[in-house]
């Protein structure tokens, strides 16, 4: 069975500082990994994905994520946080060989202070 863990319920950073939101996963086969963002009272929006290839994936709004197979991690990063980045972030995984739906982590609230 596939699963996703986001070990931090909340991450607090100051504007201009780098940010990291952590994600680890478990799948039987090769993983397809995703990050989504949710603003208050809105649906989830796609940020970026890792399917294959370069372990460093770049996405929307200056976010990037690094796939680490040995650590089964896919941490979300941004070099310089903005107050407007404050939102709820979800990591999601799908087993490439299973043809199943995306399974989401519980989410991490990112709070960027000015």
Partner 1 sequence: DAGVIQSPRHEVTEMGQEVTLRCKPISGHDYLFWYRQTMMRGLELLIYFNNNVPIDDSGMPEDRFSAKMPNASFSTLKIQPSEPRDSAVYFCASTLGLGDTGELFFGEGSRLTVL
- Using CA atoms, how far apart are residues 102 and 85, in angstroms rounded to an integer? 24
In three-state secondary structure terms, 85 is helix
Residues in the interface with partner 1 (CB under 8 A) total 24
Which is closer to partner 1, CB of 46 or CB of 61? 46
Among 15, 26, 49, 75, binds partner 1 (CB under 8 A): 49
Among 10, 29, 42, 62, binds partner 1 (CB under 8 A): 42
| Dihedral over alpha carbons 23, 56, 40, 19 (to 10 degrees) | 80
Residues in the chain: 114
Which is closer to partner 1, CB of 19 or CB of 105? 105
> Which residues does residue 19 pair with via DSSP β-bridges, in sequence order?
78
Which range in 21-29, 45-53, 55-63, 69-77 contacts partner 1 by CB under 8 A?
45-53
Residue 107 binding partner 1, by CB under 8 A:
yes
């Amino acid at each position: 069975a596939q699963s996703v863990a986001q070990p931090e319920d909340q991450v607090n950073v100051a504007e201009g500082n780098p940010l990291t939101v952590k994600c680890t996963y478990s799948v039987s086969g090769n993983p397809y990994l995703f990050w989504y963002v949710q603003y208050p009272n809105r649906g989830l929006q796609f940020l970026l994905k890792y399917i294959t290839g370069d372990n460093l994936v770049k996405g929307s709004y200056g976010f990037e994520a690094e796939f680490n197979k040995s650590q089964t991690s896919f941490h979300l990063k941004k070099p310089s946080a903005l107050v407007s980045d404050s939102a709820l972030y979800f990591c999601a995984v799908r087993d490439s060989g299973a043809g199943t739906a995306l399974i989401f982590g519980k989410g991490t609230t990112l709070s960027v202070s000015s």
